[in-house]
């Protein structure tokens, strides 16, 4: 009887911890661009570090509780069924979170105080300078060069290149989220294939990064023969 009461108490503690763990898991995996390979270092590193620490601590606590549980109620023998039950709980909690988000607009990130990472609130911008490496470079080669720039968030983006006569020689549109228009650092290749084998004259060329008709960044590159 005493064991059953203890088990019930521990079970409710476990349920709470499981809920928190699920929140962390949702936070880690649902905002893909925020924690994908190319995220905003300044903000996301802080966010990731906090969440990571929190998760580590939680994991340790959970482990201790679980071990105590195992000792007291001797559930070692039916571990598999316990795990299965825990998975069901996780699934239910996930559904619960999604439901809350759908009804109230509060996401798991907001619930954990990370609402600032929501991309919709961010201004579309190129962070720092858009640069070509190497500069100068040979366009008439397989390697060519790369145009690198950091975007504040996923956004539709146009890249224009002009020659020294102010004539546009290239226009390329990238839809939000694809390579070239993703949050974080993007690299675009400029080589002999860029103009289908057409060789650019040696000289200086000017590129613009444009979002919704607004020039976010500009730069110049020198092409060697």
Q: Residue numbers of the site for another protein (CB under 8 A)?
A: 129, 131-138, 140-144, 146, 148, 150, 160, 162, 164-173, 185, 194-196, 198-204, 206, 208, 210, 213, 215, 218-222, 224-225
Give backbone dihedrals phi and psi of 199, rounded to 5 degrees, phi first: -95, 125
Q: For residue 146, give both structure tokens.
A: 């790369």
Query: Among residues 130, 118, 119, 215, which one has the least CA distance to residue 180?
Result: 130
Q: Give dist(CA 79, CA 74) in Å, integer.
A: 10
Closer residue to another protein in complex, CB, 136/177 = 136
Closer residue to another protein in complex, CB, 115/173 = 173
Give the contacts of 119 (CB within 8 A, at least 6 positions apart): 33, 34, 153, 154, 183
Closer residue to another protein in complex, CB, 7/210 = 210
Query: Among residues 36, 75, 27, which one has the least CA distance to residue 55?
Result: 27
Minimum Å gap between C-beta 211 and another protein is 12
Minimum Å gap between C-beta 122 and another protein is 20
Minimum Å gap between C-beta 200 and another protein is 7
How buried is 213 (Cβ within 10 angstroms: 0-12 exposed, 13-18 middle, 19+ buried)? Answer: exposed
Minimum Å gap between C-beta 186 and another protein is 10
Minimum Å gap between C-beta 116 and another protein is 24
Q: Give dist(CA 9, CA 66) in Å, integer.
A: 13
Question: For residue 83, how many other CB atoms are within 10 A of its CB?
Answer: 10
Closer residue to another protein in complex, CB, 14/150 = 150
Closer residue to another protein in complex, CB, 15/141 = 141
């Amino acid at each position: 009887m005493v064991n059953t009461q203890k088990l019930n108490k521990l079970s409710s503690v476990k349920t709470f911890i499981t809920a928190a763990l699920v929140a962390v898991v949702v936070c880690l995996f649902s905002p893909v661009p925020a924690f994908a390979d190319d995220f905003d270092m300044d903000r996301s590193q802080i966010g990731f570090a906090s969440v990571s620490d929190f998760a580590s601590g939680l994991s340790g606590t959970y482990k201790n509780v679980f071990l105590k549980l195992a000792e007291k109620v001797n559930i070692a023998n039916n571990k598999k069924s316990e795990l299965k039950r825990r998975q069901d709980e996780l699934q239910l909690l996930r559904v619960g979170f999604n439901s809350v988000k759908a009804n109230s607009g509060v996401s798991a990130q907001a619930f954990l105080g990370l609402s600032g990472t929501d991309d919709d609130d961010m201004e579309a911008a190129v962070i720092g300078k858009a640069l070509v490496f190497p500069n100068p470079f040979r366009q008439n080669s397989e390697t060519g060069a790369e145009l690198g720039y950091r975007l504040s968030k996923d956004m539709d983006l146009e890249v224009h290149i002009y020659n020294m006569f102010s004539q546009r020689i290239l226009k390329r549109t990238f839809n939000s989220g694809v390579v070239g228009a993703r949050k974080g650092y993007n690299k675009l290749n400029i080589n002999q294939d860029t103009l289908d084998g057409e060789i650019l004259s040696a000289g200086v060329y000017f590129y613009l990064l444009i979002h919704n008709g607004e020039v976010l960044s500009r730069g110049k590159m020198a092409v060697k023969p």
